[in-house]
Structure 1
C-alpha cells in the first residue's frame, strides 16, 4: 500500500513540518523548508475562472464542508515555515476534531508531508527537470483532496482546453454545489456525489457538457453513493491495482486514472505518459518542434523512479 501516515493524526502542538497548533479561532500549520507559499500561490492564481477558492492580498480563501460544519478559511504565510489558517467571523469550528480535519485538508492540499530533497537532488543533473526545479523551487503537488471532485475534474478536462474545462467546472459547481456566504462574499462547495447521482443527462446538457461526459459524471457519482468506489478503497490497494480499479469504470482511461492518483492520492509513481501537456512541456524545454515518442519519454523518465508524478507536475508548470 502507498497511503502515507499523517502526523496530524497524533494531534501534536509543536510547530514542525506537517504539525499544527490549535488556537480555536486559528490554526498554525508547520511547513517544510522546501516550501514556497509564493510559488504555490502563483500556481493557484493561474486561472481567473477558479470557483472553489479565491485569492486576495496574498491570502487564500475557501469554504470547507466537514461533518456538520462549514468553516470559511483564510490561509496566509505571515512567518517563515508557518501557515496561518484563520476562520472568518462566525465560522470557526466548535469542535477540535473538525479543526484537525481542516489542518489535515490544508496539509494534503499542499502536500506538506512529502520530502522534496530527493527529487531536487535527482533534478540537478536531469536534462528536463533541472530548469523546472530552478524555476519553481518550493512548488508542491497541489492536491485535490476531495475524491469525487478529483474524478470529476479529470473527466471534465478530457479532450478540451483548460479554460473551457474551468468554465464547465464553474457551471457544474454553481448549478449543483452549495453556496456559503461569509464576510460579504459568496464561496462555493463542490457538488456532492448524492447531488450528481440524482441527475439525468438532460439536466447537465444545459451546462454544455457532452452526453458522454454527463453519463460518466453521473455514473461515478452513483458508484460512490452505492459504496462501490471510494478514496479509502483505492488507498488500500497497490498502485497498479488502484489504476485498474479506476480504468474499469466507464469514462476513466489511463490518463484520468493517473491524474486522480497524482492529484488526489499523491501516488509518487503515477505517470500520465500520454498526456499532451507533458509532451508539449518536453518540447518546450528541449526547444524542439518534434513531439517526443513514448519510448523517448520512458527513457527520459528512467531516473525519475517514484518521482514521476512530481516530474510531470513540474514540467506541466511551464505551460499552466
Structure 2
C-alpha cells in the first residue's frame, strides 16, 4: 500500500470493473453507492467512523482514493479487505469460464459480460435484511423500500452537494417496533422478520464468522432457522455474503426470466426444472446465477 491519499488493490487479469458497475447501477434508487461514469463512490464505516472512498480501474488494479484525506494504515487495510471481499477478487475463475464455454446456455451469456464477478454484500446484516426486503415484490419496489429504510435509519455524509449513506446498524433496527417499519410500507411479517434478524445479529446468535465455520448444508440450515429466511433467502445470502459458489436461488424470478429468454419459451420454467438444470453448473452455480441476472439488463 502507498502512503498517499490512495491505495492500490491488484485485480485478476480477468476482472472487469465496468461489468460490475453495470450491475451496481441497475437502479436509480440505489443509495448505498454512486456510479458516475467509470467512478464508484461508496461510504464505509471503519472502526466506528465514516470513510468515503472513490474507486476507479487501472491496469490490473483498482485505485481507491480518499476525498477527505489519508486514512490510518489500519483503516487502509480494512478498506483493502472490504474491496477484496466485495468483488470476490481472490477467486480463480478459470474453471468457471471453461465450464461456461462448454455449456449450451452460458456460452451465449458469459462471453458478453466477461470479467464480471459476483458483487457481494460483505455485511451479514445487510445481506439478510436486503434479501428479506426483496421477498415477493418486484425489484423496483424492493429498492423503494430499501431507500426508505436507509434514509430513515441509516447515517449520512455530505460531500460536494451529494448525500452518501450507510446501511442502518443492526443495533438501531433491533430497537424498533413493527409499526416503525410499517410506516415505510413494510408488511407486518416483513417488519417482524427484519427486526428479528437485527436482534439475532446484536445478540450474536448468528455471526458471519460462525457461519463460515460450517459446511454448506449446515450453513444453509442455520440461516433457515431465522424467522423469515427460507431457501431462496438462504441461497441468496450464501451466494452474496458467504462466498458459496455452489449456492443457487432456484426460485429466483430473475433467473427464471433469463432462462425463458435463452430458451425462447412462452412462459417461465418451473423452479424444479431450474433446480435440476443448475446442477449442470456444479460448483459454479452461484456464478451462473449472477451472469443470468446480468443478462437481464444492459
Q: How many Å separate the matches in 2 of 1:192 and 1:167?
A: 19
RMSD of aligned C-alpha atoms? 1.3
* 1:53-72 correspondence runs (5 A): 53-72=33-52
Q: CA deviation at 1:293?
A: 3.6
Aligned to 1:40: 20
* Corresponding position of 1:256: 233
Q: Distance in 2 between the 1:206 and 1:150 partners? A: 22
Query: What is the match of residue 226 of structure 1?
Result: 203
Which structure 2 residues correspond to residues 168-187 of structure 1 after superposition, within 5 A? 168-187=145-164
Task: Look up the match of 2:128.
Answer: 151
Q: Say how many residue pairs are matched.
A: 297
Misfit runs of 4+, over 3 Å: 293-296
Give the aligned partner of residue 110 of structure 1. 87
Q: Residue 60 of structure 2: which of 54, 72, 81 is its match? A: 81
Tell me if the contact between 1:122 and 1:303 (Cα under 8 Å) persists in the aligned partners.
no
Contact 2:178 2:191 in 1 (8 A): yes
The Cα offsets for residues 247-266 of structure 1, whole Å up to 9 and x where unpaired, read as 11110000000000000111
1:240 aligns with 2:220: no
Query: Scaled by the length of structure 2, what TM-score is found?
Result: 0.96
Structure 1 position 49 matched with structure 2 position 49: no
1:199-220 deviations in whole A, cap 9, x for unaligned?
0001111111111100000000
1:150, 1:157 → 2: CA distance?
11
SS of residue matched to 1:180: strand
Distance 1:115 1:145 in 2: 19
- Rounded Cα–Cα distance in structure 1 between residues aligned with 2:140 and 2:276: 32
- Give the unaligned 5+ runs of structure 1: 1-20
Between the aligned partners of 1:134 and 1:119, the Cα distance in structure 2 is 12
Structure 2 residue aligned with 1:281, among 247, 250, 258?
258
TM (normalized to structure 1)? 0.90
Q: Does 1:268 align with 2:252?
A: no
Gaps (5+ residues) in structure 2? none
CA deviation string 1:65-96 (max 9, x = no partner): 0113321001001x211100000124x32x21
Residue in 2 that maps onto 1:297: 274
DSSP 3-state at the match of 2:49: coil
